[in-house]
Amino acid sequence: MPRVEMFESGLEQGQMMPVLMRHCETMKRQETRLRLATAVLLATFLATLLWLQFHQQTTKGAFSGAHSEAENFLKTEEPPIRHTVHLEPVNQSDACSEEQPINWNIIDDGNDSQNFKLENQTVLHVFTKGLYLINLRISYRVYNNQCESRSDPEVLTLEVNVSQKHRNYDREREVISGKESMLCRDYWLQSITLNRVIMLEADTSLRVKLNKKSCKFVRNRHLEVTYL
């Protein structure tokens, strides 16, 4: 090899050495940064796992405590006792009038009726002051040969009235009432259903009355009074 070529080759090798050195330093710096970034990510991931585990345990403990409190509350809070009395007619064919209230019997079906007393099968006494739900249903039916005219059916007026009487009142007061019309035609059916929540004083008497003209068409009667 001529001396000139050897000299140029030595120069090229000398110029490449610094480039290789800078490249190695750059690679080392990038490698160091990569390791630091990896370490930061791992630390963040571990910290997140620890926080989630702590938060889960805290939430579970709070939920368990709230659930236990709710169970204790449900165990200690008993539902209110509601006293109910059910009245059914003594006889479906009993006569009735505006002057004489219809007759009832107390039906013993396991309900507590200690707040009520039925007297003379016509008057229901309420002993405790409070709110009461009154439900009344009267059903009517026209039987064969009950109508006076077959060619021109009469329009009947059906009236129902529940009244209360108390020593503080100068007269009976209406609690709830209803009115319906019905054709006087064989096997015609009609009904009246009444319900109302009302405040009653202690020692109040309740009566149910029907208008006289509709009494013979009464098929069934049901009265329910519930102390709320």
Q: In the chain, where are the structural domains located?
A: 1-78, 83-227
The stretch 89-110 carries a mean pLDDT of: 64
Give this prediction's pTM. Answer: 0.60
The pLDDT of residue 225 is: 92
pLDDT average, residue stretch 82-111: 68
By CB atoms closer than 10 A (0-12, 13-18, 19+), residue 131 is: exposed
Among 13-17, 52-56, 209-213, the range with the most confident prediction by mean pLDDT is: 209-213
Average pLDDT over residues 70-76: 59
Task: Tell which wins on pLDDT, 220 or 19.
Answer: 220
What is the rounded average pLDDT of the residues 2-13?
Answer: 52
Q: How confident is the model at residue 103 (pLDDT cuts 50, 70, 90)?
A: confident
pLDDT value at position 86?
85
Residue 91: pLDDT band by 50, 70, 90 thresholds?
low
Per-residue pLDDT band for 163 (boundaries 50, 70, 90) equals very high
**CATH class belonging to 83-227:** mainly beta
